Amino acid sequence: MVRGVVLRVAKAAGRALGRGTGLTVAPAEGGQKVVGPQAFGALNWSKGYATNSHDHFNIHRNSPENNDETPFEFTAENDKIVKEILARYPENYKRSGVIPLLTLAQTQNKGFLTLSAMNKVAEILETPAIRVYEVATFYTMFNRSKMGKYHLMVCGTTPCMVRGAVKIKDALCEHLGLKDYGESTADGMFTLSEMECMGCCVNAPMIAVADYTKGVEGFTYNYHEDITTKDAINIVEHLRRGEAPKVGSQHRETCEPAGVVYEDQWVPKPEGYTTLTGEPRGPYCRDLKKEAAEQKS
């Protein structure tokens, strides 16, 4: 019944949009109509898309920790890795190595790419610097301004959102004293960001943590799944103390049907399976072996 009403409202909204009268009417709670840009006021148009990065500009702005004079050199150990990366590509297609090299530079440089780091990569690849800037600004996993020691990324795509990503964000913001995504804590420990789907929807909601404290060698990028607000804060506190929080699902082995996070609570599975209990309906996969045998005979 409720679903039917929602559908009807949605259809009405669709019609209003489709009419293209210039004044768009979007439905709001309580049957009131909200006219014009207010309907979209909640959306963050300045960014236009979710990003794990807290870079607001796609141009360079000098800052104390990232300016023309900030030095950058690959360490001797990482130089070996650079050579290894370059060896993967033909000499005249060196430029293909731009992403792995930028990643290496970012991890070495405590989580973000300075101008000089990008210039260094351009120098190694013998390509104009702008071609490296283009790549670094395109991919949201490259950061171009100072990061916290740990980069907390909350998945904000539909399944996680449905399972309580917003609550997790709010809890983390409150716990860390931040206002929104894209900010870092005053002590420089954490940067909080939103991220697009990380592909473990079955264990929603989840956060990923990039650990920049241990350099290239000890760099980790871990998923923490099936989290409640309590778990999230627990993970952050573990990290603050320098301990290793539990990686993967917080409440089950992997993704076996053991339960679900519901209303910020881990709810173990009810008695027996509730879905997919019968035989799967067809059409089934072809039995290729059998077909081959039949063809032979």
Which stretches of the chain bind other proteins, using CB under 8 A?
Answer: 17, 20-22, 24, 36-37, 39-40, 43, 45, 47-49, 57-60, 115, 128-131, 133-134, 137-140
Confirm if 148 and 184 have CB atoms less than 8 A apart: yes
Confirm if 226 and 252 have CB atoms less than 8 A apart: yes
Residue 268, preceding peptide bond in cis (omega within 30° of 0): no
In the complex, minimum distance from the CB of residue 22 to other proteins, in angstroms, rounded to a whole number: 5
Amino acid letter for position 175: H
Closest-CA residue to 95 (of 139, 66, 130): 130
How many whole angstroms separate alpha carbon 259 and alpha carbon 48? 35
**Half-sphere exposure (Cβ direction) of 153: Cα atoms closer than 13 Å:** 23
In the complex, minimum distance from the CB of residue 10 to other proteins, in angstroms, rounded to a whole number: 17
Nearer to other proteins, 62 or 158 (CB): 62
Nearer to other proteins, 78 or 109 (CB): 109
In the complex, minimum distance from the CB of residue 191 to other proteins, in angstroms, rounded to a whole number: 19
Nearer to other proteins, 26 or 258 (CB): 26
Nearer to other proteins, 137 or 249 (CB): 137
Q: Look at residue 32 and give its three-state secondary structure.
A: coil
CA separation, residue 1 to residues 6, 8, 32, 48 (Å)? 9, 11, 20, 35
In the complex, minimum distance from the CB of residue 173 to other proteins, in angstroms, rounded to a whole number: 23
Burial of 101 (0-12, 13-18, 19+ CB in 10 A): buried
Nearer to other proteins, 138 or 284 (CB): 138
In the complex, minimum distance from the CB of residue 98 to other proteins, in angstroms, rounded to a whole number: 13
Nearer to other proteins, 65 or 134 (CB): 134
In the complex, minimum distance from the CB of residue 295 to other proteins, in angstroms, rounded to a whole number: 31
